[in-house]
Amino acid sequence: MRLYLLSKQVVSILDPGQKFFQNYTTNVWHAPKNAFVDIKGKVVATFDNLVINDTECLIVLERDYFPLLMEHLEKYLPLLEVKITPQLLHVYFDLDSKYTPTKGEYTLPQRKGQLILTSKQLKTTVEEEEFRRFRLDHHLPLQGVDYHREMLLNIGEEFVSFQKGCFLGQEVLARVHYKSKPPKKLVVRYEEECSEEEKKRLTSTVWDPKRSQRRGFVFVSTKGEKTYET
């Protein structure tokens, strides 16, 4: 079983009536991928979401972005009956989706593989380079590594519901979605496919011995494209 330990923070959110999610996240309550953005539609934190019941969910975000998220939410929290509580859980990436959770553990499916939320210390078997290669193969970028505070739609539309109604940042995201397109998109490219400037911006790079060059994530312009690709 191939496991990699992530630097993630698990947070319990008690949200009676789901008003907090409705007003301050970009996707619906039950969506597996979601985000907090500012009024300009720029990312504060993207997260994975696991619904526990009608009032509680567990969200999983990059550990370094949790303080920034709380700072972002500080002025809004007094307006709502919501309780946000960090959890003492480790987060592992199970590359092969072979781990079966026991009581008190959770798994969250990803594009490929799954996240494991557990209080246990599991044996890791995957080195950094192997995990980067896996992420590139399956388009699994990380906040803080491959993107930071970009406009959310530059990263992808899986984080957004355009039917849920008004939320913080919704006006900007809806205008871009319906009336234009994101100015950039996050893709995986080899160096030979990049401009000189794009080569400098490659992230999560790995060496491909078959092609004798690096590849990685990079934001590229969508100018001239007719449609937006996720």
Q: Is residue 230 part of a domain?
A: no
Q: Checking phi first, is residue 204 left (phi over 0); if not, alpha (psi -120 to 50) or beta? A: left
Q: Write the CATH number for 137.
A: 3.30.1360.120
Question: What is the predicted pLDDT for the residue at 165?
Answer: 86
Question: What is the predicted pLDDT for the residue at 100?
Answer: 97
Query: Could you tell me the pLDDT band of residue 131, with boundaries at 50, 70 and 90?
Result: very high
Q: Is residue 202 part of a domain?
A: yes
The pLDDT > 90 percentage for the chain reads 90
| pLDDT 10s digits, 41-97 | 999 999 999 999 999 999 999 999 999 999 999 999 888 889 999 999 999 999 999
Cβ 35 vs Cβ 47: under 8 Å: yes
Q: Chain-wide mean pLDDT for the chain? A: 94
pTM (2 d.p.): 0.93
Question: What is the predicted pLDDT for the residue at 228?
Answer: 40
Confidence check: pLDDT of 226 > 60: no
Q: Is residue 227 part of a domain?
A: no
The pLDDT > 70 percentage for the chain reads 97
Q: Is residue 90 part of a domain?
A: yes
Cα-Cα-Cα-Cα dihedral sign, residues 210, 211, 214, 217: negative
Number of compact structural domains in the chain: 1
Query: Could you tell me the pLDDT band of residue 227, with boundaries at 50, 70 and 90?
Result: very low
190 beta partners? 215
- What is d(CA 174, CA 46) in angstroms, rounded to the nearest whole number? 18
Question: What is the predicted pLDDT for the residue at 79?
Answer: 83
Quick one: which of 186, 184, 152 has its CA closest to 168? 152
Boundaries of domain holding 187:
3-221
**Could you tell me the two tokens for 64?**
């370094």
Confidence check: pLDDT of 109 > 70: yes
Q: Is residue 188 part of a domain?
A: yes
**E strand or H helix that includes residue 130:** helix 128-137
- Average pLDDT for 111-132: 97
Question: What is the predicted pLDDT for the residue at 160?
Answer: 97
Query: Could you tell me the pLDDT band of residue 223, with boundaries at 50, 70 and 90?
Result: confident
Q: Is residue 97 part of a domain?
A: yes
Side-chain half-sphere exposure of 23, counting CA atoms within 13 A: 13
Residue 136 CA: distances (Å) to CA of 25, 36, 112, 188, 226: 27, 24, 11, 6, 25
Q: Is residue 228 part of a domain?
A: no
Cβ 13 vs Cβ 20: under 8 Å: yes
Question: What is the predicted pLDDT for the residue at 229?
Answer: 41
